[in-house]
Amino acid sequence: MHESPEGNGQELQLLYKSLAAEYDLTETLYTFGAHSFSFLSVRDSYALLDRISPEEFIKDEQMPYWAEIWPSAITLSSYIADELSLKGLRVIEIGAGVGMASTVAAWKGASVLATDYSLEALRFVRYNSLRNSVTFENDRLDWRLVKCREKFDLLFAADVLYERVNLHPIVTAIDKLLKPDGVAYLADPRRRLAEQFLELAAENEFSITSFPRKYIGGSKDVAVNIYRITRQKNGQ
């Protein structure tokens, strides 16, 4: 759903001012589906490590992965723009980071709920939705304990398979959040953990189709797989 840039101008400016007071920001242009987007993120995500107290790390082991736009997110967003028809569909993104895939999905006509565990990330999600003149919901979600009762047509996730401890919770989250005929799309830079995740998903009666892609940009090209995940039919 598209919003009026004029109507959001004041909130956009206030939010940018608030974020700029706390972070070293960078805003980058991307083109998806022949449309130009602009996304705000943190210039150096590693600089945020000092903001995490030992107590917080022990509790959640939460790293500031959300603050950076990763090749998998760019690749998934390109796939969404070029390959998927989303008009009228209800979509959730888990581990949304700064909300790139959610923004593109909303631009494609989906009704989107962008989620992340980090409350800091959700402020960037809101900014980027306003900056790109689309509107969608955002909320905190812990994939280790999914409390959302709504079921979705599609689920998107980019670069979430980075910790072994997350693999089973993500499979469970997909199962809880998708409608019976729903589809999940996960983008991953071919980490070894992805193989373990796919085995676990298959054990939980999901079928997986892999679409190999390549992110060309930055200092080097990155091979990215997009996994299409559906429930097995009739036990097959």
User: Tens digit of pLDDT for each residue in 195-210?
Assistant: 999 999 999 999 999 9
User: Tens digit of pLDDT for each residue in 149-188?
Assistant: 999 999 999 999 988 889 999 999 999 999 999 999 999 9
Report the share of the chain in percent with pLDDT over 70. 87
pLDDT confidence of residue 55: 54
The residue type at 137: E
- Two structure tokens written together for 192: 């070894």
Q: Pairing mode, if any, of strands 25-32 and 111-116?
A: unpaired
**Does a structural domain hold residue 10?**
no
Q: Domain containing 135 — which CATH number?
A: 3.40.50.150
Q: What is the mean pLDDT of the chain?
A: 89
**Does a structural domain hold residue 37?**
yes
Task: State pTM to two decimals.
Answer: 0.90
The residue type at 188: D
Report the share of the chain in percent with pLDDT over 90. 77
**Does a structural domain hold residue 55?**
yes
- Two structure tokens written together for 194: 């992805």
**Does a structural domain hold residue 127?**
yes
| pLDDT-derived band at 126, boundaries 50, 70, 90 | very high
- Report the domain count for the chain: 1
pLDDT confidence of residue 66: 86
For residue 155, the enclosing domain spans 21-231
Mean pLDDT of 24-31: 95
User: Tens digit of pLDDT for each residue in 37-54?
Assistant: 999 999 876 566 565 554
pLDDT confidence of residue 2: 43
User: Tens digit of pLDDT for each residue in 70-96?
Assistant: 999 999 999 999 999 999 999 999 999
pLDDT confidence of residue 146: 94
**Does a structural domain hold residue 27?**
yes
